[in-house]
Amino acid sequence: MADIIQLLPDHVANQIAAGEVVQRPASVVKELLENAIDAGASQIKLIIKDAGKTLIQVIDDGKGMSATDARLSFERHATSKIRTAEDLFSLHTKGFRGEALASIAAIAHVELKTKQEQDELGTQITIEGSELVSQEPTVTPKGTTIAVKNLFFNIPARRNFLKSNTVELRHIIDEFHRVALVHHSLAFIMYHNGSELFNLPTSNFRQRIVNVFGGKTNEKLVPVNEATEVLKISGFVGKPEFAKKSKTEQFFFVNDRFIKSAYLNHAINSAFEGLVKDGSHPSYFLNLQVDPKSIDINIHPTKTEIKFDDEHTLYAILRSSVKHSLGQFNIAPVLDFESDANLETPYAFKNKAAAMPRVEVDRSFNPFYDEQVSRGSSTHYKKEPAVQWESLYVGLESKGTRANQNFSELQFESDNEMQSMFDDDASETTSRSTYQFQNKYIISAIKSGMLVIDQNRAHQRILYEGLLKSMTVKEATSQQLLFPLELHFSITETNILEQLKEDLEHTGFIFSEFTEDKISITGVPVNVPHSEVSIILEQLISDVEQEVPDSNFSAVDLLAKSMAKSLAIKSGQSLTFTEQEHLVNSLFACKEPNVSPTNRIAFITMGVEELDKKFM
């Protein structure tokens, strides 16, 4: 039998390896930015076109590479970061595997320009699908410029699975945030399709957070600092009242590298327990410094998951540090057992000794004496004769002969209002056809049995179809606000709302100003309370980020679902009989009354036969 196992060609092996390293354009951005940081750059520019599908370019002013290093950097497992296996346990750099550039070059057109400071000329290399096209000297400034064009040009199946430009750009911005936040000593600039999205100068950590997420973020931050032998924590957490529906402002950095850890995230949630509402997530920007030998960051292709030697100790330190900061800055209620006693004593009595209270008791006092004189006083009082108490019982008969007295002559007060209220309620119950159960379900009688409606899902369906109609017909009515409502969001959140601005206006919103971190609203839909506008928009942003609509997904549909979810009657809300009937009638006037906008059952029916079986 012939041998059937054979070695794969290098270009095929590189394409397979690229599937682990490069999942989408954001993966390329992450690897190139980390290489620029390892090169010692002080300023890094990121240029994106068509959400990275056409061009991803990173320009840095680092130390650059020689001609030999430039060529070797595109070979598999070629790296300057490690020499031996032991180096994996004392890493202080970002990219270290030596697979990133080789994997990227296997599935894209790559052009590299690099020059060291002492060299007169730099090196330009062009590679297409792992094949070297050219390598020649060139004139270029100090540092490295790498351009990745036509990503996945030779893997059309992978390219077809990419999402819309909006979604892919959001992933790129997320990676940009993760790198730029922790490296606040470096300057970052990001462009997309020729427009500048971010221009972040060198700053401290707090200023970098404010520059990324908007000026309003500054008042939300509470500093956290703790240094132990095991762990050093520095950074900020958000105040509980600014907790968000989404997890977009949650960042853990371990040794200046972004990580994801559900275990450590639970420690933060535990510290905020009782301070944030259910369904809301606190913000945090925390940098953890640990011994590189105590962690393993080589367990995941994206290097965002880390294995700690002693997670339980880190959990306890992190939780207590956050709780201490919240209490120290009067964010969480605390009990102070070290109050100063001088603060509780008037200043004039500071040096005075406390006088012992005197309690005097008249031991000769007898309430049955006719006359009594109080000691220490000349006041005399005359007590009524004690025998008079017997007069209270004069006329009472001992044998209870009057016990058989006729009580028919007694009259009772009547409450006409209470009687009429019960009469009205009784007349209503005889004619009503709906009942509310547990302030959650509406029960209605039908010919075949019984109808049980989930009031929240039913109202979502009613609002959803109404919002879709108003957005499609574009004839929504608005109520003008006496004073404009100003809401503050991060740059990313503002971009999401700006893309949905036209659809929001069709629902009844009127916007007067759109800036990087502020939105002014002068009109809202008629059925939207003024106090819930910010909640609705935050929920909308959260839905857009979590549901990740692709190119064939309707933004109008997502907007209608999100607003219906925010405005619908909640479970636990009591409804009057008229409201119950209106809800039932409106539900069955919908085109799809059976399910909610999220395809969940809105009502069930229970026939008489099914009820009879329960009693058999």
CATH code of the domain in which 259 resides = 3.30.230.10
Band (425; pLDDT cuts 50, 70, 90): very low
Contact 306, 299 (CB under 8 A): yes
User: Is 53 in the same domain as 188?
Assistant: yes
156/238 same-domain check:
no
| Arithmetic mean of pLDDT, 419-430 | 43
If one compares 414 and 598, the residue with the highest pLDDT of the two is 598
Q: Secondary structure of 361-425 in the HEC alphabet?
A: CCCCCCCCCCEEECCCCCCEEECCCHHHHHHHHCCCCCCCHHHHCCHHHCCCCCCHHHHHHHHHH
Tell me what pLDDT residue 489 has: 81
595 occurs within a structural domain: yes
Q: Which of 312, 328, 344 is the last residue of a domain?
A: 328
- Would you say the C-alpha torsion 497, 499, 500, 502 has a positive or negative sign? positive
Instruction: Give the whole-angstrom CA distance, residue 221 versus residue 209.
Output: 9
Mean pLDDT score, 12-22: 68
CA separation for the pair 594, 67 (Å, rounded): 68
Q: Are residues 221 and 179 in the same domain?
A: no
Token digits of residue 605: 């029916």
Q: What's the average model confidence in pLDDT over 297-317?
A: 75
Q: State the average pLDDT over residues 432-440.
A: 82
Q: What is the mean pLDDT of residues 446-462?
A: 88
Reported as a pLDDT band with limits 50, 70 and 90, residue 123 is: very high
Asked whether the predicted pLDDT for residue 611 surpasses 90, the reply is no
State the pLDDT at residue 309: 77
Q: For 270-297, what is each residue's pLDDT tens digit? A: 999 888 888 788 999 999 988 888 776 6
**Residue 64, both tokens:** 């650059």
Question: What domain range is 322 assigned to?
Answer: 213-328
**Better-scored residue on pLDDT, 129 or 127:** 127
Task: Give residue-wise pLDDT tens across range 341-367.
Answer: 555 666 666 677 777 888 888 888 887
At residue 95, the pLDDT reads 59
SS3 of 140-180: CCCEEEEEEECCCCCCHHHHHCCCCHHHHHHHHHHHHHHHH
The bridge status of strand 250-254 relative to strand 284-289 is parallel
Which of 31-35, 133-137, 347-351 is predicted least confidently?
347-351
CATH code of the domain covering residue 137: 3.30.565.10
Stretch 153-177: mean pLDDT: 86
pLDDT for res 419: 44
Q: Are 535 and 565 in contact (CB under 8 A)?
A: no
Higher pLDDT, 394 or 236: 236
* Residue 338, pLDDT score: 60
Do 184 and 273 lie in one domain? The reply is no
Confidence of residue 426 (pLDDT cuts 50, 70, 90): very low
**Whether pLDDT at 68 is above 90:** no
Lowest pLDDT segment from 202-206, 285-289, 349-353, 501-505? 349-353
What are the φ and ψ backbone dihedral angles of 448, each rounded to 5 degrees? -85, -10
Look at residue 378 and tell me if it is in a domain: no
Q: Does any domain span residue 498?
A: yes
Angle at which helix 555-567 crosses helix 455-473, to 10 degrees, equals 140
Exposed e or buried b for every residue in 182-214, given b needs 16+ CB within 10 A? bbbebbbbbbbeeeebbebeeeebbebbbbbbb
38 and 122, same domain (yes or no): yes
Q: Give the C-alpha separation, 331 to 238, whole Å.
A: 10
Same domain, residue pair 137 and 76: yes
Q: Please provide the size of the chain in residues.
A: 616
168-177, 317-326, 416-425, 477-486, range with the lowest pLDDT: 416-425
Q: In what order do the strands lie in the sheet with 434-437?
A: 434-437, 441-446, 449-454, 603-607
The three-class DSSP label of residue 550 is coil
More confident residue, 468 or 399: 468
pLDDT reported for residue 506: 79
Residue type, 481: L
pLDDT reading at 495 higher than 50: yes
First to last CA, the chain: 71
Structural domains of the chain, count? 3
**3-state class (DSSP) for residue 214:** coil
How far, in Å, CA of 213 to CA of 101, rounded?
31
Give the residue-averaged pLDDT of 371-382: 49
**pLDDT-based confidence at residue 427 (cuts at 50, 70, 90):** very low
Q: How many CB atoms sit inside 10 A of residue 148's CB? A: 26
What is the separation of C-alpha 531 from the centre of its chain, rounded to a whole number of angstroms?
20
Residues 6+ apart with CB under 8 A from 509: 478, 521, 523, 524, 525
CA distance 356 to 528: 66
The answer on 567 and 464 residing in a single domain is yes
The answer to whether residues 183 and 284 belong to one domain is no
Residue (of 77, 55, 97) closest to 297 by Cα position: 97
Asked, for residue 295, whether it belongs to a domain, the answer is yes
- What is the reported pLDDT for 56? 94
Last residue of a domain, one of 278, 299, 328: 328
Mean pLDDT of the residues in the chain? 79
For residue 483, pLDDT over 50 is answered with: yes
Residues 239, 98 within the same domain: no
Structural domain contains residue 41? yes
Q: Would you say residue 253 lies in a domain?
A: yes
Give the predicted TM-score (pTM) of the model: 0.69
* pLDDT average, residue stretch 431-460: 85
The residue with greater pLDDT, 177 or 93, is 177
Residues 155, 297: one domain?
no
What does 47-82 look like in DSSP terms, one character per residue?
A: EEEGGGTSEEEEEE-S----HHHHHHTTSTT--SS-
d(CA 585, CA 337): 60
392-401, 448-457, 602-611: range with lowest mean pLDDT: 392-401
Average pLDDT over residues 127-138: 89
Q: Residue 60's pLDDT is what? A: 93
pLDDT at 570 over 60: yes
For the segment 243-267, the average pLDDT, to the nearest whole number, is: 87
More confident residue, 541 or 411: 541
pLDDT of residue 149: 93
Do 318 and 466 belong to one domain?
no
Percentages helix, strand, coil for the chain (3-state, rounded to 5) are 40, 25, 40
Confidence of residue 539 (pLDDT cuts 50, 70, 90): confident
Tell me how many degrees the CA angle 100-101-104 measures, rounded to the nearest 5: 85
Res 139 pLDDT > 70 = yes
Final residue of a structural domain among 287, 313, 328: 328
**Residue of 209, 167, 211, 168 whose CA lies nearest to 189:** 211
Q: List strands edge to edge, sheet with 131-138.
A: 131-138, 122-128, 109-115, 143-149, 55-60, 43-49, 187-192, 195-200
Per-residue confidence at 214, pLDDT binned at 50, 70, 90? confident
Backbone angles phi, psi at 8, to 5 degrees: -75, 145
Contact 611, 452 (CB under 8 A): no
Comparing 154-158, 381-385, 407-411, the range with the smallest average pLDDT is: 381-385
pLDDT at 154 over 70: yes
| Contact between residue 127 and residue 105 where contact means Cβ atoms under 8 Å apart | yes
Q: Which of 121-125, 316-320, 476-480 has the lowest mean pLDDT?
A: 476-480
Question: Residue 429's pLDDT is what?
Answer: 44
Q: Taking a C-beta distance cutoff of 8 angstroms, is the pair 239, 271 a contact?
A: no
Q: Are 153 and 106 in contact (CB under 8 A)?
A: no
pLDDT of residue 342: 57
3-state SS of 247-311?
Answer: CCCEEEEECCEEECCHHHHHHHHHHCCCCCCCCCECCEEEEEECCHHHEECCCCCCCCCCEECCH
Q: Which residues of 265-303 are buried (b: 16+ CB within 10 A; e: fewer)?
A: bebbeebbeebbeeebbbbbbbbbebeeeebbbeeebeb
* Cβ proximity of 46 and 176 under 8 Å: yes
Give me the torsion for CA of 548, 554, 558, 564, rounded to 10°.
Answer: -170
Residue 219 lies in a domain: yes
pLDDT over 90 percentage in the chain: 21
Residue 408 banded pLDDT, cuts 50, 70, 90: low
- Write down the residue that tokens 């502020």 correspond to: 518
pLDDT at 418 > cutoff 50: no
